[in-house]
Amino acid sequence: MKKKEEKKKEEKNVVMENLISLCKRRGFIFQGSEIYGGLAGTWDYGPLGTGLKDNIKNLWLKRFVIDRNDMFKVDATILMNQNVWKASGHVSGFTDPMADGSKFNTMFSTSIGAGKEAMTSYLRPETAQGMFVNFKNIIDSFHPTLPFGMAQIGKAFRNEISPRDFLFRTREFEQMEIEYFVDPRNEQKIIETFDALYSEQMRFLADLGLEKSRIHKIEVPADDRAHYSKRSVDTEFDFPFGQRELLGIAYRTDYDLKAHMDASGVDLSYFDEETKQRFVPHCIEPTFGVDRLVLAVLSQAYGEDSLGGEKRVYLKLSPSVAPVKIAVFPLQKNKEVLVSKAQEIYKMLRKQFEAVLYDDTGSIGKRYRRQDEIGTPYCVTIDFDTVEKDDSVTVRDRDTGEQERVVVKDLISYLENKLED
């Protein structure tokens, strides 16, 4: 029994090793400060990694900000007045237990300014506080009526005692967070809003192409919740190294606004014009880790199989997140007629789909393998029939390896349909 488990664990480690090596080989993600031997808990994104990450962030923005009329997007600073972190409870309580039983505060402290004037502060360990401290600014400049939300994407820093599992637990990472403010007088509405935001989180995971069977809903029991949270639901995902937290949602009541009101002395209440009542709104917080989403997407997509008798490594990325949507190849690079036609088609597709790549090096088979490895859903090849006979091209599907002839004038609509599926 034990041997079986060990074998399983080894297989999972191999998957992670292969994935990390593909990410480096193909320009997705590199070890941070690599030429100096690296820095534990830091990873740099290359061109394809940023492409993938940007697609994830843009899908989030579309679902949670652009397609709604109740969200205010902000971009607050990483450095904040240290009193923010005292009020939020991070200075006293943002700790991890050390092996010897003592507690270690995982905020990175830093010194702001020079000499005697220097002040201690911290690199933010979450983006949330940047929204609470701007709550009054949003009220004063936009006069929104409840419910409404604030949304932010940005870096967060935690001095994790043992960073591990590639992008899963790092010391510098990116979060996408929402503080959604609701009327505390209507409990039923709060329950409904919590459920609606949770459902949106699930729809967003579907936008990324994550499989339902790998996603698990965990109602966090009262004993495990932060003391201010009335309800928390964690969403866990089957990573190669096990089922772990991907994102979460918490009903934080009026804890944060009240804490900042008490500490700053500034009134952070809301005036309800209809009932002429003043109160402090309650808050529901959906929170997402961008890098964990990148890892979830990549680890689900990674696969090895054989196609046409040849072994291949591929990323089965959903077209919605794939950093390159289409690759265009001339069958040969030394035949002017092929190259000029391929360039023409490349430019046409690029205008329409943006993330289009042109490749003319090596055999067609090698070019297909390269695109499979970076998860490009479709490859378009221009051959002699294209220019001499039928003005049609070969479109090859990443997942099945099947090829279809498509007339150039129908190519855009054909690919549009395929990429939307």
For 28, 56, 184, the CA distances from 321, given in Å and listed in that order, are 13, 6, 38
Give the strands of the sheet with 242-253, arranged side by side.
71-73, 148-157, 172-182, 282-289, 242-253, 231-239, 215-219
Give the burial class of 121: count Cβ atoms within 10 A of its Cβ; 0-12 exposed, 13-18 middle, 19 or more buried.
Answer: buried
φ/ψ of 248, rounded to 5, equals: -155, 170
| Closest of 183, 206, 201, 186 to residue 250, by C-alpha | 201
Q: Which is nearer to ligand ATP, 176 or 280 (CB)?
A: 176
Look up residue 254 and give its DSSP letter.
Answer: T
Residue 245 near ligand ATP by CB under 6 A: yes
How many residues interact with ligand ATP (rule CB under 6 A)? 14
To the nearest whole angstrom, how small is the minimum distance from the Cβ of residue 393 to ligand ATP? Answer: 42
Residue 292 near ligand ATP by CB under 6 A: yes
Residue 175 near ligand ATP by CB under 6 A: yes
Q: Which is nearer to ligand ATP, 292 or 396 (CB)?
A: 292
Cβ-closest position to ligand ATP: 289
Residue 158 near ligand ATP by CB under 6 A: yes
At 408, list the tokens. 């150039």
Residue 285 near ligand ATP by CB under 6 A: no
Residue 28 near ligand ATP by CB under 6 A: no
Q: Give me the 48-67 binding string for ligand ATP, x by CB under 6 A, dash otherwise.
A: --------------------
Q: Which of 152, 159, 170, 376 binds ligand ATP (CB under 6 A)?
A: 170
Residue 129 near ligand ATP by CB under 6 A: no
- Segment contacting ligand ATP by CB under 6 A, of 61-69, 113-121, 240-248, 330-338: 240-248
**87/262 Cα distance (integer angstroms):** 8
φ/ψ of 24, rounded to 5, equals: -75, -50
Strand duo 71-73 + 95-97: pairing:
unpaired
Strand ranges (E), 308-413: 310-315, 326-330, 356-358, 378-382, 392-397, 403-407
Look up residue 390 and give its DSSP letter.
Answer: I
Strand ranges (E), 344-402: 356-358, 378-382, 392-397
Strand duo 148-157 + 71-73: pairing:
parallel
Residue 232 near ligand ATP by CB under 6 A: no
To the nearest whole angstrom, how small is the minimum distance from the Cβ of residue 191 to ligand ATP? Answer: 21
Q: Which is nearer to ligand ATP, 169 or 367 (CB)?
A: 169
Residue 201 near ligand ATP by CB under 6 A: no
Residue 289 near ligand ATP by CB under 6 A: yes
To the nearest whole angstrom, how small is the minimum distance from the Cβ of residue 9 to ligand ATP? Answer: 20
Residue 45 near ligand ATP by CB under 6 A: no
Q: Give me the 99-128 binding string for ligand ATP, x by CB under 6 A, dash otherwise.
A: ---------------------------x--
Q: Which is nearer to ligand ATP, 240 or 289 (CB)?
A: 289
Q: Which is nearer to ligand ATP, 173 or 302 (CB)?
A: 173
Q: Which of 49, 149, 240, 248 binds ligand ATP (CB under 6 A)?
A: 248
- Segment contacting ligand ATP by CB under 6 A, of 22-30, 244-252, 320-328, 386-394: 244-252
**329/359 Cα distance (integer angstroms):** 5
Tell whether omega for the bond before 147 is within 30 degrees of 0, i.e. cis.
yes
**398/376 Cα distance (integer angstroms):** 7
Q: Which residues bind ligand ATP (CB under 6 A)?
A: 126, 158, 160, 169-170, 173, 175, 245, 247-248, 287, 289, 291-292
